[in-house]
Amino acid sequence: MSSYKHALAGYDEAFRQRLAETILNAIATNSIVDDAPVMCVRTRETLDALADILVAIMSMVPRYDTASELRKATEALAKRVRREVAQARAEGVPLRTLKADEAATIEATRRLVEAAKKL
């Protein structure tokens, strides 16, 4: 948590990292299945949920009321996604299937967080 003054002070990399870690932990935790000793990230549902959240957050940005500003932001995001997904695929996907015990959950979360830090 932070203060109102801190929240208005500008971009906060530490906040971004904590938020990414929390989101990735939620994805990892919710990806543990109860009928097999594995973690299965449901990629389509996860991407849909993240897109829903992205749209909701972007709709709070007043400058995106201007079509050209929204287009610039979405084009920059699309470029980043293409570049960083290609890089991540070339380096190896950080998570495939892990045993669904506490150690695996922690390891999966650590790997996802490490991948997010590269973004």
**Is 67 a residue whose pLDDT tops 90?**
yes
- Give me the chain's average pLDDT, please: 82
Q: Please give the share of the chain, as a percent, with pLDDT higher than 70.
A: 76
Is the CB of residue 60 less than 8 Å from the CB of residue 50? no
The per-residue pLDDT for range 90-100, each reduced to its tens digit, is 877 654 433 44
38, 101 contact by CB (below 8 A) = no
**How do residues 10-54 score in pLDDT, each as one tens digit?**
899 888 888 888 898 899 889 888 887 777 889 999 999 999 999
Would you report the helix, strand and coil content of the chain in percent, each value rounded to 5? 70, 0, 30
